[in-house]
Structure formats: structure tokens, C-alpha cells
Structure 1
């Protein structure tokens, strides 16, 4: 294994897998830290954790455990992958996990770059934009678990880290890898936010850190990494293969993002079957996973079970029951629903939302995921077994027709 990656959620990890697979690497995503060695032909291994919103100490522990396993596989470089909207709180978990990994690897001048231009995430003057809006005006300021209220990544990361945070501006990145390397050497800070507006900028950053043992960012920061290994003659000439899966399909959505809500609305407008889940009914036990799965299995077409309320409605439920209690109950609901759907014959399963996707993968007991072709930017098709394929979508990703497109691509 050449590149060892640690993802703080499941959809982000598959997003990274998509980037590396498209560049020709043989990629396998693991659900949690494996107990056995990787297959010998794996070139990039991604340990997907559900650590984004868990207590800091537990996130650090699991990340270091993943690092130990990846080091044992012989990895030459390591990437800590987090969301392209830098989802975190002032306490973490991005900063503390990055510090722990850097300490373990004795890494210095660690780049932070969640930019992903294909989905409109860009960084300029240290500020993160979503499309033409600052992060704090993009809807992410209403996130129920990690509200992003400051677009300046330097300030936000400094709240989470022991040391100050440096910056490599776009003007330096545009001068090429050597200029970036010189700028990193001149930094007084261990952590450095790097600007990136275009895919070309991300490739330059990847080339600039070819000799760095640790880097961090969104999936875009990996654009230049396969080329580094290819230039050294380390990649196989044989690209990854993919085969689709026939059979029944269903979709589960627990995301409240603007993008997912638009996809749900499009799905309903197209006349596809949809069942809205009221979180209050789930909390009270009036609606169960068995109810939802039974309904979905009885439908024709592409049935969607969703709980994607607007931010005000989400806050109202959280105020009555507590944010963690609501999130835990909904995760358990979707995990059980997924188990019942697969047991009932579903072979193509689509999920929307990072927390929901993580709960579903854990609920299904899937340990190894084969990354396939791209459905939409940042979202690949995934094989999870002999007769099961998945699409794990971050809440913010995908076009309006994503559900229909995913069902078609998963069928091959």
C-alpha cells in the first residue's frame, strides 16, 4: 500500500476514493480499522471512521488506531480527509486529530486544504467559499451538529489547535510546486491553510507535498497524489474494474442540507414513491424502521425514505429531546431500515447524508468497499459484496436528479 488515508466519515471517504480511483489507483475503503492485513494489490487504503462529531478523545484514539494499521501496511504517505466544508466545532475534531497524527508521524508544515472546485468549494485568502457565498452564508451555518459560522479557516482551526496557523496564498500557489515548497519552509507555524480555486491549484499543492509524510484536506487535495506515485513507477498499469448490479433499489436520506432537500423535492416531483419520516414520531416509537422498510419493499420504482426537514424544524425537535439523542435515534432508525431492506432483497441502496451513510454501513456490517465509477462529483458507485452495491452521498453533493442517476449507475 502506498497511500494511507483516514476519513472522518463514510461519504467523505468514498468521495476521496472516487478521486483516487479516477486517477487510476487501486482503492479499497474499510469500515473502521481492519483486523487483518490489506490485499497485496491495494495501492490506496482508506479507513473510514465515524469520528467527525464524536468526543475529541475518542476521535483521536480511533484515528491513531487507523494510523497504526496503515503504517503496518507499508504506506509511504498519509492523508487525513475531512469535509470540504471543514465541518467541525471550535473544540474539534479536525485540529486535535491532525495534531495527534502529526505528533505520531513527526510531521511538520502540514497543509490544510478542503477545497473541491468541482463542487464549488474554493479557498481564497484563507476563507472558504461554497459557490459564490462565504461558508458562513452557505447554509452550513445552520448545520445541526457542526454549524460553520466563520469562513476564515485560519481562525477556525486556531481555536482547535495548540499552535497558530499559517497561510499559503493563491498568488504563491499559482507560481507552482517549487514556490509552494519554499513558502512552506518559510512558515513559522506547523499547520498551514493553503488557498486553492481551481483543480490545477490542487494538483500543484499535491505535487508540492510529494515528500511530506502527512497532509490534510478534502478529496480535492488528493488530485495530484497519484501522479507523484506514477512518476516513481509505483502504480500498476492496470486500472480498477467495475461491474453493476441488477435488482431492487431503495434510497434513504437523513440529510437536511439544501442540496439533499432539493433532490428530495425533485424525486417527489418526478412522481417517484417517497415516505417522509417525522423525527418526533421516531422518538415516540410511532414510526419504526420496520414500518418504513415494509413500505419501501412494497413500492415500484425507486422508493425514498427521508427525514430531511428544514433547519427550524430540526432545531425544534432537538430543543425538546437534545441534539445527540435525536441524531442517535435517527441513525439507529436508518441502520435498521437498511438491514431490513437488504434482507428483503434490495441490491442497490442509495444513502444521503454523512451520518446516515455511516450508520447504514455500520448497520449492514460491511467491512470492505470497492470504489467504482463516479455518479456525480464526489460520489462514486461502491460494491459492498457479491450482490450489494451502494451510493453514499454527502448531504451537500449531487445534482437534483441524483437519486435517479445513482440507481442507473449502480445497475451498470
Structure 2
């Protein structure tokens, strides 16, 4: 058989696996909204305690029969139909892959091969939710954070497309720089997503919409927030200052303290609150580092301080106990940048929409070069830090 044919069928085979995983995700979504399937799927949600240990072995076995086996049969039936219609032999790999789910579910219904149920392995959650592939922590959130999100079974791109890879519903989200233009826009957008936003501000007499709590803080006093941050799910580090062309010693001090060091201390303080499985699953830090990481901002100290913060985030998220997102924004109209061209309201919508799709590096800008230069810079620096630094 020519190698070209082998390669082509291998591609069809890999495509068939992706396809049946999409079918599995679709079946899962429908099982949350269509009553006949809901009755079957509810067996699955009734099985587990918060550490993924089964409530009872009998209930666990029944869930395999009523949920996992029908799901596998749908995967098998769909790929058989597609393989017959298209006529490519490689597609039958998807059938064998799906049959593996059926066999393992049947075995688990008899109390065998329980270890094959990887995303429901009992025990504490020890890693944050993964990005592209479903791990235990990612799937835990479907059971115990928001049952109408986190539907994906193996590849997470279905959730990414649907905007269900991160649920903000009911999450307590604290936003620094809340008195600023973007801070207020983020608070409003988060409230629309049914989160519980908290304004963190250094302003003495701020006014926020009714229902938004306000906490006062000052750079250098981050430790005072630790107890409060214990109950925060997501910390958005959004504050900043722009001294424009000033290069005096006080300007250097202010820029480094506000744009980099205070944010770094807040991030480390928040990391220290990640203590339990629930924290590892739900807590996140979002840091607005700015497009100044890779592009001129016509403010040297702004660029230096923001780049320092960006490098610290890249370094520290190698070992971060929770999800860390970078927010890299182009010029938007605000007190810091009266010449910005983008709307803070639109940027806030885009940031939240991308976060819900579990984008770890959120880039929103009108500069097309940033979409190329930032990923290259981020990857190269991540690799450098990975190779030439170590955790304690």
C-alpha cells in the first residue's frame, strides 16, 4: 500500500476520533436540556461526592448502564453512518475508539475496570483545570461548579466554541482599578454574566452601581487583603498608572510600584489563598499587562513597568496553583490614554467572552502585529524560564 494512502487513512482515522468526541459532547449537552436524555444523564450526576468518591457502588454501576453505555452507542452509531456514506476505511478507527467506551462502561457496570474512569478518580484535586484536554479538575467543575457548563469529554474545543469552558455564574470577582474606565466596564460586564463583582479601588470617594461592593486598598498594603481574598474566586489585577514622558526618580518609583510590584504582590497573596480542591478548581487571576509588553506605548516607564509585570506573570504561572490569564489590550479611550481608539465597554465584553472560552492569553487590539508578536514572545520567554529556572 502506498505511503500516501496510509497517511490519508491515518488522517481520516484521527479525524474520526475528533468527530466522535464532538458527538459525545453534543450528546452531553442535549442530555442537559432534553427530558428523555435528562432522565438517563441524571444517574451520572447523582453518583459522586465532592471528592469524586461514589455515593454507592450500586448507584455507580447503574450510572454506567443508563448514561455511559447509551452515550457510547450513539457515538458508534453516528460514526458507522458517516463511514458508510463517505466510504473511507480510516473512519472505522472512530468506531473502534467508541467501542472502547462501550466495553469499558459495560465492565464498570459489573464492577470491573473502574480505574478506566479517569476523570472521576476519587481524591483531592491537585492541579488547576487544564486548557485543551479535560482533566479531573476541569470535569469536577461540571459536577460541582456549574452543571450547565464544562460539557467537553476529552478535547475542550466544544466548550471553547460554546463559551462554556469557564462559568462566571455566582463567582465572586474582585477587580482592581475599579474606578477607572475599564474597571467600571469590567464590573458591569461581570454583573451581566451573573458574577458577583467587587470593586477594589484606591479612590477615596468612589461611586459604584447598587449591588457592587467596594473595598479600599493601597499599594504596599496588599497583605491587608488576604482574609478578604480568601473568599474571592477571581482576582482581576487591572490597576495602572502612566507618567507619560516623566523619567524622574519619583516617576520611576511610582511606575514600578503601581504597574508591577503591587500587582505581583497581589498575585502572590492570592496564590497563598489557594488551599483546597475547590480553590484549585475555581480560583483564577487575570492580569492586565497591556500591549506595551511587545509594542511601544510612547511612555518609556509605562512600557518598562508593564513589561516587568508581564515577565513576572509568565515566570510565576509555571508553578501557579490556579489558572492565570494575561490580558493584553491595545489602546482604548480612558484617563490613562485619552487618545485611545477602542471602547472600554467593547473591550470588557471581549475580555469576558474570551475568558469564558478559557483563553489564557487574551489579546484585544486593533494592531494585527500583536496577534503574531505576543504569542511568539510569550512562548519563547515561557520556554526560556522553563529551561533556566526551577521551583523551590
Q: TM-score, normalised by structure 2?
A: 0.28
Greater fraction of residues in strand: 1
Higher relative contact order (CA 8 A, sep 6+): 1
